[in-house]
Structure 1
């Protein structure tokens, strides 16, 4: 766990575990065990979570476990974090939990979905205008916009379920926030009645995304150009 995460407030922590497919409906007991140093006192495992699951899926199953309190305890006492062990036994004693990166397990290993609040005290220079729905600004400005994937019915996206995308809108007056000198020169030359500058994104940033592919495997990727950071005229 990185030091940046250690000093943020955890809002949500979900541990996701993939369970192998079963041929018949089975009762599976999923256990999360905390490891501790080996001593002469006995077991080096402490059970921290236990779930009883009825499985009837022949295509495998992703199971989520609330891990927020466990993570908070790790933050308070990081020296006690020796890792965890995951198992999910069916009535025949078969462990259905995929916990290693063996053949056929690509994209199916456990992962943790975190949502944190960062305390960012850094100030930065903002070269564009920021507005909201109550603003009376008519010039080119960045407005807030939240994209909700659940509202689209995109249940194949694991995280984030929604994010702040923002958008640009407004008028581009003479030499106002024009990104390139070319924009002003073209406007002056006006070849063949070309249109004036438009309010568009001048700086964008990516977001990290977790999603299922068509094989029900977990894919983690950085998707470029998803957030408007700054608007200007070009």
Structure 2
């Protein structure tokens, strides 16, 4: 027997302040989706242009409204209320890419795999969770972690007096400065817990933003 196929319509609306000039909703997209009624289904929707406008004009961010209807126009629940399916709520994933324009205050060297730089430098490194087989992580599937590598010359001793003194006083050997992250930032992650529920969390110290000698 063939599986039953259902047709549903999804409407995505952007909210705006309530005024006397008309509706509070601005339609973003309308989708017609065919799916197997016996199997769960994720639907990805691109909100890139909406987010770009929100970044330019944050005061216009009043949220979005997602509605689902069947072929007869009856409202459908976007989330499931059945026990064990609490993790099926919609979520919004935002990816922000670093531009090539850098701040003058952002000290520290940036290198790539072709660089001949021997000094302490930040190198690009992409961590791929799918390559690890970590299928319990929903998003991001991969991210730019970066890492530090390189030599710290003797002149850096003047910047770190304690290290300079330990270098001379330590009888057990060298204690010179090493190339290490001096600034790190977190990433937001969505993942399944042991109950198969979707958890959102901010994981600290996941991205190396700057490297230095210390």
Q: TM-score, normalised by structure 2?
A: 0.65
| Structure 1, gaps ≥5 residues long | 1-24
Q: What is the deviation of 1:230?
A: 2.1
For 1:131 and 1:123, the matched residues in 2 are separated by 16
Distance 1:84 1:138, change over 3 A: closer
Question: What is aligned with 1:104?
Answer: 84
CA contact under 8 A between 1:101 and 1:109: conserved in structure 2? no
Q: What is the deviation of 1:147?
A: 2.3
Q: What is the deviation of 1:221?
A: 2.1
Q: What is the deviation of 1:176?
A: 2.2
Task: Return the structure number with greater strand share.
Answer: 1
CA contact under 8 A between 2:79 and 2:89: conserved in structure 1? yes
Q: Kindly indicate whether structure 1 or structure 2 has the higher relative contact order, using CA contacts under 8 Å at least 6 residues apart.
A: 1
Worse-matched range after superposition: 94-103 or 179-188: 94-103
Structure 1 residues 62-119: Cα deviation after superposition (integer angstroms, max 9, x where no partner): 3222344666789999999986543334689875533699998865443333345677
Q: What is the deviation of 1:200?
A: 1.6
Q: In the comparison of the two structures, how many residue pairs are matched?
A: 210
| Structure 2, gaps ≥5 residues long | none
Q: What is the deviation of 1:127?
A: 3.4
CA contact under 8 A between 2:68 and 2:78: conserved in structure 1? no
1:90 equivalent to 2:70? Answer: yes
CA contact under 8 A between 1:206 and 1:227: conserved in structure 2? yes
Q: What is the deviation of 1:167?
A: 0.9
For 2:81 and 2:149, the matched residues in 1 are separated by 47
CA-based RMSD? 4.8
Structure 1 residues 118-170: Cα deviation after superposition (integer angstroms, max 9, x where no partner): 77977332332222222222122222222233443444434333332211111
Q: TM-score, normalised by structure 1?
A: 0.60
Distance 1:39 1:170, change over 3 A: closer
